[in-house]
Amino acid sequence: MITPNETAALLIQALPYIRRFTGKVVVVKVGGLPMTDPAAARSLAKDVLLLHSVGIRTVLVHGGGPQIDEQMKRIGKAPEFRDGLRVTDRETLDIVRMVLVGKINRELVSAVNALEPVAVGVAGEDGRLLETTQVDPALGFVGKVGRVRAGLLHALLDDGLIPIVSTVGADRSGQPYNVNADDAARAIAVAMKAEKIIYLTGAPGLLADPADPASLVHRLTVAEARRSIADAHVTGGMIPKLSACAEAVAGGVASAHMIDGRTEHAILVELFTDEGIGTMVCGEA
């Protein structure tokens, strides 16, 4: 059990970081996996609410891949991916909207509002918050964000609310599109001139040796991140996340972080302690 002196030491260590980030925008992206665990969802809600309570302008962006896969399998439809993007025909798009907008978003909003009624759910297609264009006709209704109505999110933050964004966008005709959540979070962070973007992943961060958890890479520049991807030192699902981190920083976000969303209070440890917990991508040294 933590002692009062240890608690005081932690608070003192956190104070300069709280002062530094108060009034700044922090975008947090979470996948669907934590929402399969009610305890993880509550822990995430507490962390997001604490950031909000100390004056950090927090935007939560979520995906929901595991839940979409599960719903598709229930109706006998096999998920299909190309280059990491979900092939989305009209039936799949209906499932994506139902799961992301109607289920996961509502659950996250409820988890925060059970603690304090400050969360509001926003779909990327609402008011064309995420204005999209089709990526490739072969992928179906898969969109890439071309424009973010950052003013809408700033208005909600100005009103003392926490926007929780589901990543279904729409084009200028109002046609909805499934949008990759990592890239949507990056686009939002860049448009809002965020101080930080934090990706909650199912790994400790970027590992120099994927088989060795102790080989965590704590810090990378944008150039180093891009070089790691180009040289195939990074593989699998880490590629889009590291790429999104690099592009976010290149777009003006001060720093991007990949941290282990399975670790309790990972966001707070990364933001408010000297050691941090994951991998940070920043500008050139």
Q: Give the whole-angstrom CA distance, residue 192 versus residue 153.
A: 8
Q: Answer with the residue of higher pLDDT: 233 or 155.
A: 155
pLDDT digits (tens, 9 = 90+) for 70-103: 999 999 999 999 888 899 999 999 999 999 999 9
Query: Edge-to-edge strand order for the sheet containing 25-30?
Result: 119-123, 162-166, 57-62, 25-30, 196-201, 255-260, 279-282, 219-221
Of residues 129, 201, 5, the one with CA closest to residue 121: 129
Its CATH architecture, for the domain 60-186, is 3-Layer(aba) Sandwich (3.40)
Res 145: pLDDT: 97
Q: Concatenate the DSSP letters of all residues of 23-92 into one string.
A: T-EEEEEE-SGGGGSHHHHHHHHHHHHHHHHTT-EEEEEE--HHHHHHHHHHTT----EETTEE-B-HHH
Whether the full predicted model's pTM is greater than 0.85, yes or no, is yes
Q: How many CB atoms lie within 10 A of CB 160?
A: 8
Token readout for 158 is 């100005």
The band of 233, judged by pLDDT with boundaries at 50, 70 and 90, is confident
Res 9: pLDDT: 79
